[in-house]
A and B are shown apart, each in its own frame.
Chain A
Amino acid sequence: MEKRVVFRSGWLPWALLAPQAIVIAVFFFWPAGQALVQSLQQSDAFGTSVSWVGLENFQNLWNDETYLASFKTTAIFSILVAVCGISLALLLAVFADRVVRGATVYKTLLIWPYAVAPAVAGVLWLFMFSPSIGIVAYGLEAMGVDWNHLLNGGQAMTLVVAAAVWKQISYNFLFFLAGLASIPKSLIEAAAIDGARPWRRFWTIQFPLLTPTTFFLLVINMVYAFFDTFAIIDASTQGGPGKDTSILVYRVYYDGFKALDLGGSAAQSVVLMVIVVALTVLQFKFVEKKVNY
């Protein structure tokens, strides 16, 4: 789509574009290019000598079992976050769509966690589940569960997934609510006249018509779990115990800034870029579908 009527000026459009162009050139393209170059180099921890090593950094990653384990951790983490977050939000949205009285109140009370910073969410959940002082850990112990996420990798994963889902539910909830509102009432009424009960109507009408929303949220939640949860993990488990909650983004940070392995970290950045590109392409495919149904 293009405008028929435009303004004419030789220099003005360049001046208007300049701020955006400078920022993306200096802080996006230059560093991304650097990451590509560094991923092909090896340097010592003091940065005094740099040598070209070709694809060796990538080969090292491929042969590094802890890196492959980190892939697996990330996959488990993001699938758990996406599935739990989406199903809980769908449940709440379906019932919120049903109630007439108090709908706005429920909505307001359910959307605010979106505003909570991931790092703060991590601290809150850490405090509740802290083995020595946490109230929830105390309750679990009373029920016979020996909770210590500092030693038990599975429990540490549960903790970060819970914190990540808690923060993301409001987002999913809003999109499902909008999706449900856009389903024509006449379809549901017709099914009701034909004798379909609410349970049946949900599975045969509402759920299929929500598929585009669900796919869209699936992709968004994956992106969220991959990138935005860094703060949750850093604030609560710091990737531990061992490397049990060390997702890919956490490793890039850890290897680059704590272990000072610049080449390895840059190679990991490149791997992540490839993943983002794939997810973005996927996202746009589903966004288009959403428009078309």
Chain B
Amino acid sequence: MVERRPTLGILAHVILILGVLVVALPVYITFVASTHTAQEVVQRPMPMLPGSHFIENYTAALQGGSHGAGSTAAVGRMMFVSLVSALIITFGKIAISLLSAFAIVYFRFRFRMFFFWAIFVTLMLPVEVRIGPTYKVVSDLGMLNSFAGLTIPLIASATATFLFRQFFLTVPEELVEAARIDGAGPMRFFKDILVPLSATSIAALFVIQFIYGWNQYLWPLLVTTNEDMYPVVYGIKRMIAGGDSQNEWNLVMATAMLAMIPPALVVMLMQKWFVKGLVDTEK
């Protein structure tokens, strides 16, 4: 701070606290709704303090089989599907990007720049602009309703490849020379030197890509028709059907809380890597 201005200091805190409250309000209401019975939630106005049905509602949501108008599949299974697909997407992206960036930076071969640009162009083809034909490919390959169908089409990542390429270019040449003098082959150099050096970039990408994978919606909406394969983010939407009074909003809101917790935890606990990841990938 340049000078002391008590009024401005107080104003800053007031505005920030207001901001924090407005940002937190939807989640607070969600939490309150998830701790009441379905009847209490649809009252006008709904209660503003947490109720006493916390354990009941969360167990009911996790196990499924309630009486709502929409889907009543078990949220426990959905959380598992989400976690597995998010992890496959995250590690898949990091792995194939590390390998292709290594090939592009450390080897000279024909069509090297062609591949580089081919990967670059995928930035311009998000899932949303090619949903119809991509769906057809996945269904022709028999990958509907499977983890492969949910994850593999989302694994290619231009951003991760670029990030690793930029990083590899800053690695001192002496390291390669030293490794070669000591008789290390390319894969040995990759495994023992390059990957450990990239640890911070990998951690940063992990946070960003985990959130990306967990929050997928459009793609699961297309490739899953079986309740067993719904990720939780899509499952919530399926729980809402018909009029407001037919839905068990308390369970829907409990599911929303469950769907928010894992990625929110990753962001808050790995805050440092998260910020680095955002700035590096500009995603």
Residue B49 lies at the interface, judged by CB distance under 8 Å to chain A: no
Chain B residues whose CB sits within 8 angstroms of the CB of A119 once the complex forms: 215, 217, 233-234, 236-237
- The answer, yes or no, to whether B273 is at the interface (CB within 8 Å) is no
Tell me the minimal C-beta distance from B158 to chain A in angstroms: 9
Q: Which chain A positions have C-beta within 8 A of B243?
A: 132
**Cβ-defined partner of B244 (8 Å) among A7, A130, A192, A256:** A130
Interface 1/0 per residue, A242-264 and B, CB below 8 Å: 00000001001100110000100
Q: B217 and A276: CB pair below 8 A? A: no
Known contacts: A6-B107, A38-B133, A235-B237. The answer to whether A127 contacts B9 by CB under 8 A is no
Interface residues of A in 128-150 (CB under 8 A from B): 128, 130, 132-133, 135, 138-139
The stretch from B24-32, B59-67, B196-204 touching chain A is B24-32
Q: How far is the CB of A81 from chain B (nearest CB, A)?
A: 16
Give the nearest-CB partner of A196 in chain B. Answer: B2
Contact pick for B275, options A29, A174, A257, CB 8 Å = A174
CA A102 to CA B12, docked complex, whole Å:
11
Task: Decide: B107 and A166 in contact? CB cutoff 8 A.
Answer: no
Instruction: Name A12-68 residues within 8 Å CB distance of B.
Output: 12-14, 16-17, 19-21, 23-24, 26-35, 38
Known: A3-B106, A132-B245. Is A31-B136 also a contact (CB below 8 A)? Answer: yes
Q: Which of A26, A28, A128 has the largest count of B CB atoms less than 10 A from its CB?
A: A28
Q: Assess whether B20 is in contact with A9, with CB atoms less than 8 Å apart.
A: no
Check if B137 is an interface residue, CB within 8 A of chain A.
yes
* Interface check B132, CB cutoff 8 A: yes
A237 CB-CB contact with B under 8 Å: no
Of the 9-residue stretches B50-58, B72-80, B114-122, which lies at the interface with chain A?
B114-122
Residue of B nearest to A162 (CB): B26
Q: Does A74 contact B (CB under 8 A)?
A: no
Number of A-B contacts (CB under 8 A): 295
Mask: chain A, 72-107; 1 = CB below 8 Å from B; 0 = not:
000000000000000010011001101110100010
B157 and chain A: residue at smallest CB distance: A20
Min CB–CB distance A46 → chain B (angstroms): 15
Contact yes or no, A99 B106, CB < 8 A = no
A242 and B249 CA atoms in complex are apart in Å by 25
Which chain A positions have C-beta within 8 A of B8?
98, 198
| Complex Cα–Cα for A21 and B112 (A) | 12
* A contact residues, total (Cβ < 8 Å): 99
Residues of B within 8 A of A31 (CB): 130, 132-134, 136-137
B268 near A108 (CB under 8 angstroms)?
yes
- A220 interface residue (CB < 8 Å to B): yes
Partner of B44, one of A5, A29, A125, A138: A138
Q: Are B129 and A276 in contact (CB under 8 A)?
A: yes
**A interface secondary structure, majority:** helix
Q: A3-B106, A24-B118, A188-B2 are in contact. Are A95 and B99 (CB under 8 A)?
A: no
User: Which residues of A have CB within 8 Å of B103?
Assistant: 12-14, 16-17
Which residue of chain A has the shortest Cβ distance to B134 in the bound complex?
Answer: A31
Contact of B29 among A19, A98, A128, A230 (CB under 8 A): A128
| Given A119-B236, A120-B256: A98 and B9 interface contact (C-beta under 8 Å) | yes
Top 8 closest pairs, chain A to chain B, by CB: A34-B133, A31-B133, A231-B217, A117-B215, A115-B263, A16-B103, A13-B107, A20-B100
Q: Can you list 28 residue pairs at the A/B interface with Cβ under 8 Å?
A: A7-B185, A12-B187, A16-B102, A23-B152, A27-B152, A27-B156, A31-B134, A31-B137, A32-B125, A92-B15, A108-B271, A110-B20, A111-B267, A115-B264, A116-B260, A118-B215, A123-B256, A124-B29, A126-B240, A166-B23, A178-B275, A185-B2, A189-B2, A231-B217, A231-B218, A266-B133, A276-B124, A287-B282
Residues of A within 8 A of B (CB): 1, 3-9, 12-14, 16-17, 19-21, 23-24, 26-35, 38, 88, 91-92, 95-96, 98-100, 102, 106, 108-121, 123-128, 130, 132-133, 135, 138-139, 166, 169-171, 174-175, 178, 185, 188-189, 192, 198, 216, 220, 227, 230-231, 234-235, 249, 252-253, 256-257, 262, 265-266, 269, 272-273, 276-277, 280, 287
